[in-house]
Homo-oligomer: A and B are copies of this chain.
């Protein structure tokens, strides 16, 4: 199997200013064609550091992909480091310059071409992959059968370069082993109990299969990965092992192929021909966003409302003022009335509601930070649950609660 090392160049990552999402994307794409990422390194934009990191990357990897450090401004030193590392020189590449000129012409930005002209200078031994969504080209260097790609750092430039150009190139260049995996989503069992339950099965797995535990909130994703030469044989192997696994944890499995909870929800709702709507308070739109981040969600998601102000819960969702006065706005009763009002407003089979305190400050009614009530309403049945997650910060809280609500809904729909 081919091994890859990803190098992220950029002080904005090291300083905690930006999350490195490129590596995640690239690793996922490489995995799909059977290339294993064995290391991801983030370093600063210094010529010596870049050269040293390239050196050790070439010792362990067959493929090196760098991102970042290729912008038009002065804090970028990657190209110089590349040329020095490969004993090469930098020169203007005509094709790249023409591409750049066209690119800027289309955007009516020819006046700044001079500044960007430097971006058409590349190491003379490099093969250029033109960037259709930015001004920095992608350069490939080859050494002893190993490849090194240098990409810019902007995620929406990286994605098409990887997907449309580099992945097809690698597929042709290397003859690769297949890696394929399946994910089984388990709810309601802590990781350590689950491990006990399936221990014998895990120990008996064929050698080319590997199991990982990926906890996501209160869900555990079991990923079973198979490596080998024949893709359909691997898929058969995976299916067989999953069929052995399922009886061991039956009722707690909510999905055996899809990975993301919003996709699992989409499949279940489509299968049942049901529609859904949301009424949110403390999750602030995250629940609707999570549902709609699944493509095709317009099939079942009719709409959602965020009633942050209490009077909007009363005006729009018809929560009764008496209920608020008696039980406070963060209560089981308000969650129930929100879900009911939401179902009526959007005319859907399913409605979800959340009301709670995301923090960092306490709610107006004195409820503790991290408290949330949520109602899951399916036709005329409903369940209201409470969570208390005081250790989560505001954004993690919004996300955790949204994931949990959808997870519980899926569980209800499946076991219905």
Which are the 6 A-B pairs with shortest beta-carbon distances?
A: A16-B28, A284-B292, A285-B288, A16-B27, A285-B289, A285-B285
Q: Does A15 contact B (CB under 8 A)?
A: yes
Contacts of A142 in B (CB 8 A): none
Binds B, one of A70-78, A233-241, A247-255, A264-272: A70-78
Which residues of A (24-38) have their CB < 8 Å from a CB of B? 24-31, 36-38
A309 touches which one: B16, B74, B298, B312 (CB < 8 A)? B298
Protomer copies: 2
Please, how many angstroms separate the alpha-carbon atoms of A230 and B17 in the complex?
A: 23
Q: Does A204 contact B (CB under 8 A)?
A: no
10 inter-chain pairs at a CB distance below 8 angstroms, sorted by A residue, are A13-B24, A14-B27, A16-B26, A17-B223, A19-B21, A41-B41, A75-B211, A156-B400, A284-B291, A285-B287
Q: Mark A194-222, 1 if CB is under 8 A from B, else 0.
A: 01100000100000000111110000010
Give chain A's interface residue range (CB within 8 Å of chain B).
35 or more
A17 touches which one: B8, B28, B39, B75 (CB < 8 A)? B28
Contacts of A156 in B (CB 8 A): 391-392, 396, 400
Give 4 new A-B contacts, CB below 8 A, not counting A159-B393, A284-B289. A20-B40, A39-B42, A40-B42, A304-B306
Please, how many angstroms separate the alpha-carbon atoms of A391 and B293 in the complex?
A: 17
Contact between A345 and B316, CB atoms less than 8 A apart: yes
Closest B residue to A109 by beta carbon equals B190
Contact between B289 and A398, CB atoms less than 8 A apart: yes
